[in-house]
Amino acid sequence: MLIKRLEKEDKGSYCTFHAQSTRDAITRLKKLGVLEIDLLALDLIIVQRRWTSMLESSRIEKRRITEIAEVLEKEGKPVLNVLFEFNFSKDCLERKNKSQRILDKFLKTAGRPDEEELFSKALSERTQLIERLSKKGMGFEEFFKALNRQA
């Protein structure tokens, strides 16, 4: 399915794929016959993992985004720029690198390539809001309603 999406050059598509890391995803896609030139059409790879943890005397399943990377081009080949990695001891994503492609693409798409500072300020405010809301222990639906009300 992913290969068909890449070949059709659909604008704004996503797909699920099984891999242990962003690097593993690239390796597996190559083994499935996806050409490196086609891999450069990918903007982001997001890895979500799940595991079982013990909480007091019961087991709970945790599902977390553990890695977010953008796909960059270096000498015609895809390379990964890991933007966020999961810190298991703190149970949160931590920024690793600044975006080199996604921010630039977003600003150009929005028709505002010279407004990176304004965008960065708005993104920072939104990030702080998300962090505050995430600490309140809300359910999924309640979280997004609150996020949209305050946006």
Show the tokens assigned to 7: 């070949």
77-87 and 58-74: which strand pairing?
antiparallel
CA distances from 33 to 29, 30, 70 (A): 7, 5, 21
For residue range 5-23, list pLDDT tens digits in order: 556 655 666 778 889 999 9
Q: Which residue in 2, 139, 113, 22 sits closest to 71, CA to CA?
A: 22
For the entire predicted model, the pTM comes to 0.70
Q: What is the pLDDT of residues 28-51, one digit of tens each?
A: 999 999 999 989 989 999 998 888
> 87: closest CA among 58, 66, 107?
66
